[in-house]
Amino acid sequence: MSTAPGIPFRFRIIRRFARSAVSVTLAMTTFLGLSACEEDVVAVTGTDVPYSIYGVLSPQLDSQWVRVFPVEERLVPATPESLDAQVVSIDRATGEQHVWQDSIIVDFADQYAHVYHAPFQARFGHTYEIAAIRSDGAESTVEVTVPSEAEIIPQDPVIRLVSVVQPVFIRGDVPGLVQVEVDYAVAYKIANETDIESDRIVIPYLLRHEKTDGGWIVPVDLRQDFLEVVSNLADLVDVGIDQRVGVILLNVTLRFIAANEAWDPPGGIFDAEVLVQPNVMRNVRNGFGFVGAGYRLSRQWLPPVEAIEEAGFRSPEEN
C-alpha cells in the first residue's frame, strides 16, 4: 500500500467495518441466538420440536460454532449444566463426520449460552448437515452449503459527463453478497494548518450489486462517493479543508460477506425488529433457528489517475 510522499498514514476509522471472520461468526451466533429467546416465546407453544440452532459456517475458520437452545414451553434462562443434546455434522461430499463439543459461555446479555464447536475448516462449495440430537432420539437438523471461492477484480473505469463509475467484478459461484461497503482512504489538510490528516470514510453499498454471468458486478461510483466523502469530512472539520491540497485518494477497498443462498434477510438488511420474527431466515428442520454460511472478502486498489481526478479527488501523484 503506497501513500503520497510526506503524507503520514495516520487513520481515524469512520464507520469502522473491518472485522475478523471469527467476530462475524460469533456476532451472528450471539445476535440470532438472542433473537431465539423471543422467537421461542412466540413460536413454540404447542410444539414438540427439540431445539433452536443458530450459527454461521465459514471456510476462514479452523473451528465451526453453533449456538443451541432447547425448545421449552416457557422462557427460562439457560443454565451452565450440560444440555441433553449431541451435535454432529457430516460433509455430504466427503463423508467426513464430527461430533461437536459443548462450551458454556456468558453472552453480552449476561446469560449462559451453549455454544457447540468442532475443529474443522468448512470447505468452499461443500454442503454440511448438522444435527442436534436429544437422548430420546428427537433431533433438529439443518443443511448448509458453503459458497464457492470468489475473487474481486476491479475493471476499467467508465468516465461520462455526469459520472465516474468503476465496475468491480466478483468472479465465482456466490449466491449472495451481504453488507457490501466501499472504504475510501483519504488525506487532506485542514485550512490554516500545516499537518496532513488521514481518514477512512466507509460508504454502505446496500443492494447496488448486480448479478451477471460468472458472478456479480458492484458499480463503484467514484464521483458520487467523492461527494459523500467530502460531506463526511465537513462534519469532522469545522474550519474547512485547504482546497489547494484538496481530498487526496490513497486507496479504495471493497469488502463484503460472500453468503450462501439461505443468508438472505428481507431487503438485504439485518434489522433486529425483523429478524426476531419466527419465520424470518429460518432453515432448521424440526426445530427453529438459522444456520448460514459465508466468508469475508476484500480487495484494495487505487483507480487510474484520470478517474481519480474526474471524480473530484486529488491523486497521490500530485502531492
pLDDT at 19: 37
Looking at residue 274, which CATH number applies to its domain?
2.60.40.10
**139 and 274 co-located in one domain:** yes
**189 and 104 co-located in one domain:** no
When pLDDT is averaged across residues 121-147 and rounded to a whole number, the result is: 97
Judged against a pLDDT cut of 70, whether residue 274 lies above it is answered with no
Residue 142 in any domain: the answer is yes
pLDDT at 273: 60
One-letter amino acid for residue 137 of the chain: G
Residue 2 in any domain: the answer is no
Q: Render pLDDT for 207-227 as a digit per residue (tens, 0 to 9).
A: 899 999 999 999 999 999 999
* Percent of residues, the chain, with pLDDT higher than 90: 60
**54 and 196 co-located in one domain:** no
Q: Render pLDDT for 150-209 as a digit per residue (tens, 0 to 9).
A: 999 999 999 999 999 999 999 999 999 999 999 999 999 887 778 888 999 999 998 899
**173 and 89 co-located in one domain:** no
Count of structural domains, the chain: 2
Q: In the block, which residue shows the cell 414438540? A: 48
Judged against a pLDDT cut of 50, whether residue 283 lies above it is answered with yes
The phi, psi pair for 209, rounded to 5°, reads -75, 150
**124 and 161 co-located in one domain:** no
Residue 5 in any domain: the answer is no
pTM of the complete model: 0.81
**213 and 245 co-located in one domain:** yes
Judged against a pLDDT cut of 60, whether residue 256 lies above it is answered with yes
pLDDT at 272: 57
Q: Render pLDDT for 3-40 as a digit per residue (tens, 0 to 9).
A: 333 333 333 333 332 333 444 444 454 444 444 444 44
